[in-house]
Chains A and B, each alone.
Chain A
Amino acid sequence: MKREDIRSEFPELNRRVHDHPLSYFDSGATTLKPKAVCDGLRQFYGEDYATIHRGAYLLSEKATQSYEAVRGKVAGLIGASKSTEIIFTSGTTDSINLVANTYGSSSIKSGQVILVSAMEHHSNIVPWQMLCERVGSVLKVIPMDDDGVLDQDAYQKLLIDNEVALVAFNHVSNALGTINPVVPMVALAHEHGAKVLVDGAQSVAHCSVDVKGWDVDFFAFSSHKLYGPTGCGVLYGKEDLLSSMPPWKGGGDMIYSVSFEKTSYAEPPARFEAGTPPIAEVIGLGIAIDWLLSIGLKEVEALEGEVQKYALEKLMEVKGLRLIGKAPKRAGAISFLLDEAHPHDIATLVDSKGVAIRAGHHCAQPVMTRLGIPATARASLGVYNNKEDVDRLVEALHYVNKIFGA
């Protein structure tokens, strides 16, 4: 599919911002939505709406089928072998908290170590810290170098020197754009008897994922960074792990039978989906996955890679611009600083030219601390970004420099 055809499927790209066309560079936070997803939500809420798993009437049967079919679509997208290994959550954060509160609470013991990388989002740090407080385990950090590349020797040493129960790291860093080497890191963890959770929030929309081939134990991502609706996400877990895990949230739909004396729990995935789930959002996620796969992840990688390469070259033309994160393998986010302007001033000023970027610590304060900076400006790519967007970003950055007398 051509990029212009893809762009034409995003109605929001036609709107104007401060009387300029929109160049949207915040897909790392959340992507814009293709028309198919918007239409699908309208169709479901407007014409097909009913609850699920209460199938005494046609509409509920249909809704249940539509909802359950999305498990298969997700399994196909990330290379899981069974749709029962796909749990719907409210997002990546919820998925990680689920693992920490089920697998973590039941299997991780006092004195054992949980490893996270130095470039994690707060959502892949805080749930583990909370777990450590509950069970007495210890959080340790896989260090990274100044370019934003994880130190694999240090990682190996951490695995040798400690009784590591679990390693949690992101596939792609939201703050630096680094693609981490999942396959060797998973293999190494398993050699030392540790389980692995991969945070795929920043990767599933940008490159191919193969949870079975990579042998990851848990994989988490959000719908809304994958062109789907907000409020829903996915936890993949290996079947045997999910089966051994206790439930976290109790309620309807997650039980086998309930009496006041004793309740027995349903098998996964239902065990982990208490209450009425975000039905429409899950169905919308399914539409987003179909849409993304109609382009193909290889094609997405090629389209984004081309714009990323162009952006990395063109940004160097901006006076006083310093890239933050220079990993050789990267996707999504491009973080930078300007000598003369603070990231927040940059973001406000480029917005006045219709260019939407992000400024701040990107929920990765330890990354900022490690690099000795308070914040970065971040332009993150989606499949709709083209070279004109990059030109408009660069032009807007020249304008920032002009305002600040650089």
Chain B
Amino acid sequence: MSYSSELYQQVILDHNKKPRNFRKLEDPTHICPGHNPLCGDHLTIYLEIDGETIQDVCFEGSGCAISKASASMMTEAVKGKPVEEVRGIFSQFHDMLTGDMDPSSGGHQLGKLAIFEGVKEYSSRVKCASLSWHALVGALNMQKEVCTEGEQDPS
């Protein structure tokens, strides 16, 4: 099976078609738009944090299937979790995408998110899968916006 057919599994396609928590939060405690100039993907993460816990998380925007499904599955993965734990999951997710961590070796909290492992074979798509996470961390850090890269699309 090729990496791309592994990548475009039913779970990802389903989240792309019916993204979870795909809405705007009217009164968020944290908000951050993310932009991937390579794909033209834009999405905004909204958070409601109560003390140390992410009470609610949702997103809106447009993008490729990988970025949308990743954002959708991220919201499910982080809702109700303490901020520090979420930062830890981001770090594991990031390491998986860059090939620095093998999810099959265990000892991580990625759960269903391990499905994005195939993305690491496509360096140009790593940013699609990580856009929502960067925006989430941007929101936690009170950044105005995040951008996955400088322009990298010659001709």
Contacts and interface: CB of A to CB of B under 8 A. Distances in A.
Contact of A374 (B13, B62, B128): B62
B155 A360 contact: no
Of B42, B62, B124, which is in contact with the most chain A CB atoms at under 10 Å from its CB? Answer: B124
A375 B39 contact: yes
B9 to A, nearest CB: 10
Interface residues of B, number: 27
B151 A122 contact: yes
Nearest to B6: A352
A292 B93 CA distance: 49
A345 B153 contact: no
Contacts, number: 71
Interface in B46-81: 62-66
A256 B45 CA distance: 61
A121 B125 CA distance: 23
B151 A363 contact: yes
A157 B41 CA distance: 36
A162 interface: no
Contacts of A18: 2, 4
Given A201-B155, A363-B155, A405-B17, A345 B2 contact: no
B155 A362 contact: yes
A341 B12 CA distance: 13
Interface string B1-26: 01111011000010001000000000
Nearest to A92: B155
A182 B13 CA distance: 46
Contact of A348 (B41, B62, B63, B122): B122
B7 to A, nearest CB: 7
Interface residues of A, number: 32
A344 B128 contact: yes
B38 interface: yes
B4 to A, nearest CB: 4
Of A348, A359, A368, which is in contact with the most chain B CB atoms at under 10 Å from its CB? Answer: A348
A361 B64 contact: no
A349 B37 CA distance: 20
A401 interface: no
Given A344-B125, A345-B64, A360-B38, 16 more contacts: A29-B155, A121-B155, A342-B39, A342-B63, A342-B64, A343-B39, A345-B8, A345-B65, A349-B8, A360-B153, A362-B153, A365-B37, A374-B40, A374-B41, A403-B8, A403-B13
15 contacts: A18-B2, A19-B2, A30-B155, A122-B151, A343-B39, A344-B38, A344-B124, A348-B125, A352-B4, A360-B40, A361-B37, A361-B40, A363-B154, A403-B13, A404-B65
Interface of A: 18-19, 28-30, 121-122, 174, 201, 225, 341-345, 348-349, 351-352, 359-363, 365, 368, 373-375, 403-405
